[in-house]
Structure 1
Amino acid sequence: MSMPAATAQAAIDLAALDSITAALESGAGLPAVVRAAERALDASLAVIDRSGVVLAVAARSPSDEQRLLAAAHGVESHELRVADRAVGQLRMGARSHPGPGLVRLVLTLIASEVERVRGPALATEEASAGFVAALLAGEAGEPALAVARGRELGIEVEAGGSVVVARAHPLALADEGWRERFLGVAQRGARAAAPGSIAILRPRGDALTAEAVVLLPGAGEDAAARAVDALVRELHAALTGFSFAVGRSRRAAQPGEIGRAANEALLAANVAEGHAERDALAFEETGAYRLLLSAMSEDPAELQRFYAETVEPLVAYDEQYETDLVKTLESFLEADGNVAGTAQRLFTHRHTIRYRLERVRDLSGLDVGSSDGREKLSLGLKAMRVLGIAARGGPATEAGSAGGRVSAPGRGR
């Protein structure tokens, strides 16, 4: 008499788990555990930690491994959790149909092994991230204390360094964990040219953006420029379907100046956001925007008020009606107030440009035909960039999105 189907499946699942538990009990390591799991699930597997580092792969071929790491079509992604804490991700390319109960058991076992293997390292990474966040905020204490604390964590900041702010926007709906992958890629790219670099994610209030701040300890202008080049190349190679904006600071000569450098990198990234032709800008390349840095740092509310009194109505109108008033105004000012030149830049009829400029006047109360109006609107656009407020654009399909709007410093940044 044959066993009931459910009993037979349970027996198969228990037998499949034997090799996984044997690998765990013998201390064979995470790669051996994942290879055993591959046999148990009859699926190619890749384990990735929460920062995007690949910890182990069990695949039948190099092309199979590439599919897993690229999360190609047909590859399932499962979060690895220990209690209420995410410790990584399991990517699975199934060749048959493993039972959901078996998948859950394997996820639990692999998550426990990831926690055991990576726990101490993650604790150090969290301590390092906290220290870097304090440095960037100017809250790391006296220079001597900051240097001593940094050395305990393997971060040498006695000679100061440079700061890079990298920002990513998905151009379509992105999968879970893309921010952690972005952080890992940004750090990997920077370390290719500046080995001691460390990156942290800066919390943001909008659902469409991730922002990494990278400290390059001891790096001068040349080393920082090379790190930015490597970082941008790595971002484009590893993350398709995203747009990027990267800003680089001047060198901070000592730990106490790193907060200033962070503000410079943020300003450069905000300005780069408005220049589609370039992914990265150095602080020295931001031109007149540099004059507004102290206002951003010391009194962002005043800068916000000036923005509200000039171009905010144009931004709101563009968001509501999907028009291009801000882009038209920027192009008009770049064309030295020439309507025909603006029409050429935007491939639009002159009458359309004149109509849009009339709407600019109606909404802002400022006439682009007067030097005073052009000056105030130009400064309003600069205030918008410095505050990190993006004009309409980007994907607006994710819940809670606001048409590409980027929150200003102090408001979820």
Structure 2
Amino acid sequence: MRLRELVQADHLALKVLTGHDLLDRQVCGVSTTDLAEPSRFVKPGELVLTELTWHTGADSSRNFVKALGDVAALVSGTALKGVPLDLVDVCAEAGLPLLTLPVEVPFSHVTEHVLRALIAELGSAPRSRYGSRRRLASTLVDGGSLTKVVTAVAGELDVPCWVMSPTGRVIVGSQPLPEEERARLARTFLTARHLPGMVGGLSVFPISKGAPHRIANWFLAYAGRQAQGENEDLVVELAALVALERSRLEAAQRIERRVFDQLLELLESGDAALPGVVSRLHTLHVETEHGLLVVALSVAGGDDVGVAVLDELLRPLAPGIVTAADGAAIALVPLAGNTARELTEHVLAGARRLEAGLGEGRIALGVSNVTTTPAALSGLIEEARHARALAALSGERVSVITGDDVSSHRTLLAAIPPDLRRSFRTRLLGALEAYDAANQTDLLETLRAFLEESGNWTATAERLHVHVNTLRYRIKRVEELTGRSLTSWDERVDFMLAVRMR
């Protein structure tokens, strides 16, 4: 197809910014990328779609356009709410047609239009090499499900075939797959030095070679060794069609994200009227009646990776609305019959399955408490963010802090640097520890029991199996050695925190 035919498609509403005299160029394919260096993932003659998330200034535009080589044209999305002028200038200088797509039109619509046109151009009697590819593409763009496409490929390859996520979740498959096999395949995909890879007679093949991180990608798994010849073409084409289907899903999610972004801006403005909050929740089809919580996640790789990972961790138990804000992914999650504990355990289990692919990175998760009232949403978002920040301080590869944890002093203690904890404990309890060691006494244990019994003399004496007068003598000795009074509430709090520190 020619570029002019694409521009003339009314339902796409493409606007030409540069290259008005180059619209007779042939388009022989389509790809989507937001990599700053896309040369390995685009081919001559392709229509390249981008959301411009790579853009950081004029230099990035020059480098990106140079890396595109001889593509047919560049189509810009609206991630930046407008096409940068420096990109327009660079495309004009390079003789590269630059088009822009309205915010309400997803990339998947452009991809489908190009795919339909190319299928039509193949005609009714294509070469055998392209026959199966045309049938697969026709199945998908004509409304067929991804399951039908995978089943068709499995039939042509004469082997079982699955589309999977990096947590080991089977998205679609030609037959059931045992849990242990799922885990093995996911680990192979995450850790293989080179892909395609193989484990236990099954091969794994990445859906998108341009994905920013494997933990945010999908993969194909099929029985047997790496396909060759026409079968290899079939696997490659299936990967491309799965990527197309995923782009459809992501297009719908981007619309939800825009509404969620508006909701976050409203809540952060400090002037969030309840009707405005409720209206946006209804737009997102999010109900608080059966419980709603917020999950925050941070992971190396940028916003797109964080959003994809959090979305994956919530599935299939409790899919939420996910967006990125302030360096973390944030999700609104209706419980819909689940408990907060079940959700937390589900998310944590999925995150631990991704650990094999983190490299030097870490996943930190914060889970808020539950609310049934929209008015409490702002507080829940802050709670989840604070919990995520505390989880990031733990130093563990995968860590989670819940709203209940945030309300405990133990979480605050965990956030204090180890050197400061040791210093605080030594200043308050060092004299007691030294005295106990030198005199074979139990003043520190006496202090601990006294504090845990809320200063009740009788209960503490019974717990330690001593007379009350003996207890009074010991507490007096504690006060003498530390120079502090246990009749003071503030002093008791300091002692309690010191006792709990390690």
Normalising by structure 1, report the TM-score.
0.49
Higher RCO, 1 vs 2 (CA within 8 Å, ≥6 residues apart):
1
Normalising by structure 2, report the TM-score.
0.42
- The higher radius of gyration belongs to 2
